[in-house]
Amino acid sequence: MTSRTLLPVDAQLALADNLLTLLRTTTTEPRPDEQLEALTLAVAADLPVLLWGEPGIGKTAALTQLAASLDLPLTTVIASVHEPTDFSGLPIVGDDPAVRGVPMAPPQWAVELVRAGRGLLFLDELSTATPAVQAALLRVVLERRVGTLQLPPGVRIVAAANPRASAADGWELSPPLANRFVHLYWVHDKDVVVRGLGGVWPRAELPRLDPERLPEAVALARRAVCDFLAARPTLIHRLPSSETRRGGAWPSPRSWEAALTLLAFGTAAGVSRDVLALLVRGAVGDGPGLELLAHLDRMDLPDPELLLADPANAELPERGDLRQAALEAVVAAVGARPERGRWEAAWAVLVRALETGAPDLLVAPAKALAAVRRDDWEVPAAVERLASIVGLAARADRSVERAKVGR
């Protein structure tokens, strides 16, 4: 058994520090991460973000990594351990308060943010802040004012909260404060955690906005939100009935403005539909957000009359649900104005869809189009190319029904 030379206590502590430094040394890599992409885009859009997640899920670590990746100084304020005056300002009585008034002195962290001119303000443990502190935070989150001090435009605000059930002495968020945030629900990803513990975390990068798409993105976002709310005016402002849901995302003119901003940024950056869904639902809530996304999909559908005018070169959506909706719109257009030439053109569109996509999507539109036929219309040759598809689907349906009866 070999003996080890005992080192002085200071040397042992120095070795321990070296080991801790090695453990804390990590790197980052470009890696698809929808949560992180949604968070970064909302931060770029200068919208306050609230991360919801269970304790230990990695919200604070994500914010620390985000600040480092964006080269922003991180200022962490634990909301639950502060008084309302730490956000509204502490009154300081001067020489002649009757003439000069009583100024509200800002806290040190706010002064340092103004001095830096930029930074990431992280309001942690928001769900454990008392109602009085939450009320004092209203101007900080929306107007970026701390007492009489105006935070500079280069400061972004992100908060984190635990659900009330898992928060220490937790409170529900007040509706006015909740409605000022974009709510993102943070969950762990097995691959991200495993690779991160191995020393490599995903890198947060600002969205790459296409300068040529900026006017188009703004026009699309405004048209989508305005057309949708014109058709669904009851969703302009809908305060949830339960206290818990009032503390999350819900629709109001303020949150619709946030959704419009996120749509414009997402379009200009070319983000995926999943990332856009996280952001829109986080602004106005799940139900209204999904309805807006469905409305946005319908806006992207090609004009059925244009498809009928040039079937051979018809460009159909790649996504299956959108492709089927486009084909159903073609059939509906022929049904609204049934003419033999239009009916034959619709069959040509279906053939084009067969050549460029999955055949199973053609079954319902083909059956509906066949029902539009008039007795004196001859069946075009294109129908023969689709007959086997429809027949095969019908036989498969009958097989499934027989299997059900057998069980």
Query: Which of 165-182 are b and which e, b meaning 16 or more Cβ less than 10 Å from the residue's Cβ?
Result: eebeebbbbbbbbbbbbb
Q: Is residue 220 part of a domain?
A: yes
CATH number, domain of 147, equals 3.40.50.300
| Structure-token pair, residue 276 | 């856009």
The reported pLDDT for the residue numbered 290 is: 93
The domain boundary, picked from 165, 181, 202, lies at 202
| Structure-token pair, residue 46 | 């200068």
The reported pLDDT for the residue numbered 224 is: 94
**What residues have CB less than 8 Å from 184, skipping those under 6 apart?**
35, 38, 39, 42, 49, 50, 51, 52, 278, 279, 282
- What gap in Å lies between CA 45 and CA 249, rounded to an integer? 18
pTM of the prediction? 0.77
The reported pLDDT for the residue numbered 29 is: 83
The reported pLDDT for the residue numbered 121 is: 94
Mean pLDDT of 217-235: 93
> Phi/psi of residue 65, each to 5°?
-70, -35
The reported pLDDT for the residue numbered 397 is: 43
Mean pLDDT of 51-63: 84
My answer on whether 291 and 316 are in the same domain is: no
Residue at 255: amino acid letter: S
| Structure-token pair, residue 139 | 């101007």
14-18, 136-140, 187-191: least confident range: 187-191
Model confidence band, residue 398 (pLDDT cutoffs 50, 70, 90): very low
User: In the Cβ-directed half-sphere of 203, how many Cα atoms lie within 13 Å?
Assistant: 11
The domain boundary, picked from 149, 180, 202, lies at 202
My answer on whether 308 and 341 are in the same domain is: yes
Which residue did the predictor score with more confidence, 185 or 399?
185
My answer on whether 296 and 311 are in the same domain is: no
My answer on whether 282 and 237 are in the same domain is: yes
My answer on whether 77 and 195 are in the same domain is: yes
My answer on whether 55 and 193 are in the same domain is: yes
Model confidence band, residue 167 (pLDDT cutoffs 50, 70, 90): low
Mean pLDDT highest for which of 167-181, 233-247, 293-307, 378-392? 233-247
Q: Is residue 11 part of a domain?
A: no
SS3 168: coil
| Structure-token pair, residue 67 | 């600040």
| Residue % of the chain over a pLDDT of 70 | 89
My answer on whether 111 and 170 are in the same domain is: yes
The domain boundary, picked from 237, 270, 300, lies at 300
pLDDT digits (tens, 9 = 90+) for 342-394: 998 998 898 888 888 877 788 888 888 888 888 888 877 777 777 766 654 44
Which residue did the predictor score with more confidence, 196 or 257?
257
Q: Is residue 87 part of a domain?
A: yes
Does the pLDDT value for residue 218 go beyond 60?
A: yes
My answer on whether 326 and 383 are in the same domain is: yes
pLDDT digits (tens, 9 = 90+) for 323-341: 888 888 899 999 999 999 9
Burial (CB count within 10 angstroms: exposed 0-12, middle 13-18, buried 19+), residue 183: buried
Q: Is residue 258 part of a domain?
A: yes
- What gap in Å lies between CA 240 and CA 398, rounded to an integer? 46
Number of domains present in the structure of the chain:
3
pLDDT digits (tens, 9 = 90+) for 227-265: 999 989 999 999 998 888 899 999 999 999 999 999 999
Q: Is residue 5 part of a domain?
A: no
3-7, 119-123, 402-406: least confident range: 402-406
My answer on whether 170 and 54 are in the same domain is: yes
Model confidence band, residue 158 (pLDDT cutoffs 50, 70, 90): very high
DSSP string, 240-274: -SSHHHHTS----HHHHHHHHHHHHHHHHHT--HH
My answer on whether 336 and 287 are in the same domain is: no
My answer on whether 237 and 295 are in the same domain is: yes
Residue (of 185, 181, 226) closest to 45 by Cα position: 181
Does the pLDDT value for residue 300 go beyond 60?
A: yes
Q: Is residue 13 part of a domain?
A: no
Q: Is residue 8 part of a domain?
A: no
- Neighbouring-strand partners of residue 270: none
Please check whether residue 74 is in contact with residue 120, taking contact to mean a CB–CB distance below 8 angstroms: yes
Taking the alpha carbons at both ends of the chain, their separation in whole angstroms is 72
The reported pLDDT for the residue numbered 181 is: 96
CA angle 330, 334, 335 (to 5 degrees): 115
pLDDT digits (tens, 9 = 90+) for 110-121: 999 999 999 999
**What residues have CB less than 8 Å from 249, skipping those under 6 apart?**
178, 181, 182, 183, 255, 281, 282, 283, 284, 285, 286, 289
Q: How many other CB atoms are found less than 10 A from the CB of residue 319? A: 14
Mean pLDDT of 182-195: 88
My answer on whether 189 and 271 are in the same domain is: no
Q: Is residue 189 part of a domain?
A: yes
Mean pLDDT of the chain: 85
**What residues have CB less than 8 Å from 194, skipping those under 6 apart?**
none
Domain span including residue 83 = 31-91+104-202
Which residue did the predictor score with more confidence, 359 or 5?
359
